[in-house]
Amino acid sequence: MEIFLDTANIEEIKEILSWGVMRGLTTNQKIFLNEKGVNFETQVKKILDLVDGPVSIEAPACDAEGIIKAAREYAKWNKKKVVIKIPMLANGDGIKAAYTLEKEGIKTNVTAMMNVNQTMLAAAAGATYASLFFNRIRDGGVDPIEVVKQSRAFIDQGDYKTKLIVGSIRKPNDVIEIASANPHVITIPYKIMKQMPFHEKTVETLKEFDKAWEEFLKAEKKC
């Protein structure tokens, strides 16, 4: 299971890269909105220079033609790393775009998915990645763990190449829940990633160790 970072902020990316845990990166329109004043292409190219792995960027279009046109342009920036996020459009245009782009060798990530039916279509169309939105599924009154498990089972049983990404994470415990359902990738916001190393009992234990070491050194000096 791989960990991706969910951000478009350069400093956040640099910090988490220094941890050595992230294997790729995901973005979307809301994430870029947080980076006010940046040029989209310039920012993406900076990210591509930093991240040694797949970088998902969303095609801002609402039909197959528009998605494909944007995807072909974005892929020119770095075809090896760029992954085109394609919305799971209700009329099937997203699936159509994913199928077309995959045949052209452009990596895709069908996104904003909420159920197994959508996963089935994305995988059958040959998408490189398929992204389920964990807490948004839960907001709809459905158990997201079951959706992730069933989606992963469909991909495995059909021997599809698609990797299942799970995002929409709001607290550290979500990561634990998602991991139990065994997706291929968990994409984690910077804010949550920063909380993951913390546990109050770990802090308490280390304080005890530090105190014990100080006492040991004092006793050593008396010898």
Domain with residue 63: its CATH number is 3.20.20.70
Collect the ranges in the chain with pLDDT lower than 70: 223
Domain assignment of residue 218, yes or no: no
pLDDT of residue 103: 97
Task: Say how many CA atoms lie within 13 Å of 187 toward its Cβ.
Answer: 27
Assess contact for 120 and 138: CB atoms under 8 A.
no
Q: Is residue 15 in some structural domain?
A: yes
In this structure, is residue 209 part of a structural domain?
no
Cβ-contact 182, 1 below 8 angstroms: yes
> How many CB atoms lie under 10 A from the CB of residue 5?
27
Q: Which domain holds residue 75?
A: 2-198
Are the C-beta atoms of residues 84 and 57 closer than 8 Å to each other? yes
With respect to residue 220, please indicate whether it lies within any of the assigned structural domains.
no
For residues 51 and 9, give the distance between their C-alpha atoms in angstroms, rounded to a whole number. 12
Among candidate residues 36, 69, 85, 107, the one labeled active-site is 85
Under a CB-based contact definition with an 8 Å cutoff, are residues 162 and 143 in contact? no
Please report whether residue 48 resides in a domain. Answer: yes
State how many domains the chain has.
1
Query: Amino acid identity, residue 151?
Result: S
Active site residue 85: yes
What is the tens place of the pLDDT at every residue in 141-180?
999 999 999 999 999 999 999 999 999 999 999 999 999 9
Task: Give how far the C-alpha of residue 92 lies from the chain's centroid of Cα atoms, to the nearest Å.
Answer: 23
